[in-house]
Amino acid sequence: MNETTQPALSAMTLRQKIGQMIHCGFHGYEAGEDIARLIRERHIGGVILFARNVRDVRQVAALNANLQRIALEAGLSPLTIAIDQEGGMVARLTEGVALMPGNMAIAAGGEAQAAYDAARVTGDELRALGVNLNYAPVLDVNVNLNNPVIGVRSYGESPELVAGYGVQAVRGLQEAAVSATAKHFPGHGDTDVDSHLDLPTIAHGRERIYGVELVPFRRAIEAGIDAIMSSHIYFPAFEAEKLPVTLSRSVLTGLLREELGFDGVIMTDCMEMKAIADHYGTVAAAVMAVEAGADCVLISHRHDLQEGAIEAIAAAVEAGRISEARIDESVTRLLAMKRKRGVTAESVTTAASEAFRRVGSREHRDIAQRISEAGVTLVKAEADALPLRRERTLVVSVLASAVSEVDESVDLPVTLGQAIAALGVPVEERTVALDRVGDEAEELVRSAAGFAQVVVGTYNASFRPDQSALIRSMLEAGVQPVVVALRNPYDISAFPEVPAYVAAYESRPLALQSAAKVLAGQIEAKGRTPVTISAAYPVGSGRNKP
């Protein structure tokens, strides 16, 4: 045990130590009584913020300062305040900050330095707002085009590329004094089931997993990453019983700790996800996770489950099922992570006005714009299909929607049509909800016939037959739509005959503006796909000019 940790640890009661191992989510823009009681009476070590806790950046900074005040007044270590700020489509802070592109958009730009720059800016802004742990980067290798939950959250399909970009992101965050968290160990990239909804299985043998899934995590460990998040996935190559990684001692302790030599903090993914809750129960599984080797148990929503988990872990220690020495190991790591990133009583109570003024600054937004524009990928463009002419143009935009619980909700203030119109192209736009495309398809095809140009923004059309049917119906009617994929880049596989196809990788306003500039010929398309779309469009596909 580290001597510098021992005095603080020795002064803590068992309940205080167990509390440090629990990170909780809560509802509201202020620190309500439930979360305040969890801090004061249950001694929790950290909180996680979601969009439900975010109104604007000043409110977030005030909320975090108040949470820290509650902890310090209770005589506790400063809180770990965490967030999922991956960039792109998975971000809790979207307004008032320099929201960076997501991983696949960054990798499409072809410069690993961009991953560092994006993470450094994100880290600087998070720390200025009082956040000291980011549940990023995603280090999953997206080798399965049917993956419903990772997709563009991954840097791509190459283990070495993911590792290279991931290490840069780790450096950027941690040099900004924000702990990075590699997820979802040992890899969520080759599943076709969302662990928010059920328990996936990855049945590959050890050799394949070492050669693909584990490569980025090993590199992150070598780079000194602070934390790794376990996946709720069953890997039979490493676990004889049908247990998800989060509950597997063979994986968390045997593989991650002993074999790979990771001595940082092992975080669980949320224990209320159905892969855990439906099969084991959140409270019982919290005890199992600690037995397996997890240092920090994340429970994002229900107050009763948060309190229940604390009580269950305490009861397990008191009954001798878990040793207090095992608890001490985890608390030592958690306290060490805070010290490493300067999370001290002084740092969380000192107003950083200069740092706050840089949140969402022009300098930061310029970095985001540069990265975004570099990643837009012109996958296909037949002669004369692009750039768009300044003629009457119909833009059909399939609206972004939460495709997984990790998205929370998607409420975007800018549409593709608005972004194109801002560049001087006369646009009439039809927006259509994701679940209404089939109902409105006939009218959309009929309308399209009357326009000189048609642009369609698809959203995961490779998963949505109604969108694919819409594009094919337009082609059959003699309409030649330019298609922009506004999330996963695989959509063209369902309608390869379209005359032009652009992968934007996301539907955030900056991505729409960057894609619109490519469509209008204002910037050169420099991106290359970091994944294989199809045999016709292998990894690295992309054209420089329309």
User: Counting Cβ atoms within 10 Å, is residue 101 exposed (0-12), middle (13-18) or buried (19+)?
Assistant: buried
Q: In whole angstroms, give the CA distance from residue 279 to residue 294.
A: 19
Compute CA distances 40 → 16, 215, 284, 286, 301, whole Å: 10, 41, 24, 21, 18
Please pick, among 117, 140, 226, 269, the residue that the annotation labels catalytic: 269
Q: In whole angstroms, give the CA distance from residue 255 to residue 257.
A: 6
> What residue type is assigned to position 292 of the chain?
A
Residue with tokens 């969302």: 194
Q: Is 232 part of the annotated catalytic residue set?
A: no
Q: Is 407 part of the annotated catalytic residue set?
A: no
CA-closest candidate to residue 248, choices 198, 310, 305, 186: 186
Beta strand 227-230 pairing with 265-268: parallel
- Decide if 47 contacts 24 (C-beta within 8 A): yes
> What residue type is assigned to position 62 of the chain?
A
* CA angle 198–299–406, rounded 5-degree value: 50
Please pick, among 196, 204, 279, 301, the residue that the annotation labels catalytic: 196
Containing H/E element for 421? helix 416-421
> Is residue 59 helix, strand or coil?
helix
Q: What residues are annotated to the active site? A: 196, 269
